[in-house]
Amino acid sequence: MCDFMTKDQLAYYKGQMEAQIAELEERLNSQASQAIATDTNEMADEIDRASIEEARRLELNRIEHDKLHLRKLRAAIRRINEGDFGYCESCGDEISLKRLQARPESRYCVECQSTKEFNDTHVFRRVA
Ligand SMILES: [Zn+2]
């Protein structure tokens, strides 16, 4: 059980994340139907089609981003239920309350997160 947070704090984070999940699910549902709606427009000329394609691409990026966020939130709620919430998955330290306040779905402490981001950027640059 997470011993640096009270039950009330855990319940607070859980409530926050459940609200975010509901919001994301609602947005994903409306985004999916919008993406289908633009698909049926066959009257558009070449330029319109290009901008529609671009808009759809951005929309799909947003959908992917939302889905990823949703997965993170669900995993964090699972960690609350299992008692692992609030600890860094990499070094096992407590994640600061300030950080959890801003992003309750955080899996790493600030130090591990910045190391990870540095490595991700580094790998990405090397591949690109
Ligand atoms: Zn850490």
Can you list the domains of the chain with their CATH numbers? Answer: 7-127 (1.20.120.910)
Sequence-distant (≥ 6) Cβ neighbours of residue 86 within 8 angstroms: 2, 4, 5, 79, 94, 95, 100
The percentage of residues in the chain with a pLDDT greater than 90, rounded to a whole number, is 64
pLDDT at 74: 97
In this structure, what DSSP letter does residue 95 have?
Answer: P
**Mean pLDDT computed over 47-61:** 88
pLDDT at 35: 62
Q: Token digits for 31? A: 């985004």
**Mean pLDDT computed over 109-126:** 82
Distance 35 CA to ligand 1 centre (A): 39
For the segment 8-25, what is each residue's pLDDT rounded down to a tens digit? 999 999 999 999 999 999
Distance 53 CA to ligand 1 centre (A): 41
pLDDT at 128: 47
pLDDT at 4: 83
- Angle at which helices 7-39 and 46-82 cross, to 10°: 160
Distance 23 CA to ligand 1 centre (A): 29
Distance 116 CA to ligand 1 centre (A): 10
Distance 101 CA to ligand 1 centre (A): 17
Distance 104 CA to ligand 1 centre (A): 15
Q: Token digits for 15? A: 């409530």
**Mean pLDDT computed over 40-62:** 81
Query: Would you place residue 119 in the very low, low, confident or very high pLDDT band (cuts 50, 70, 90)?
Result: confident
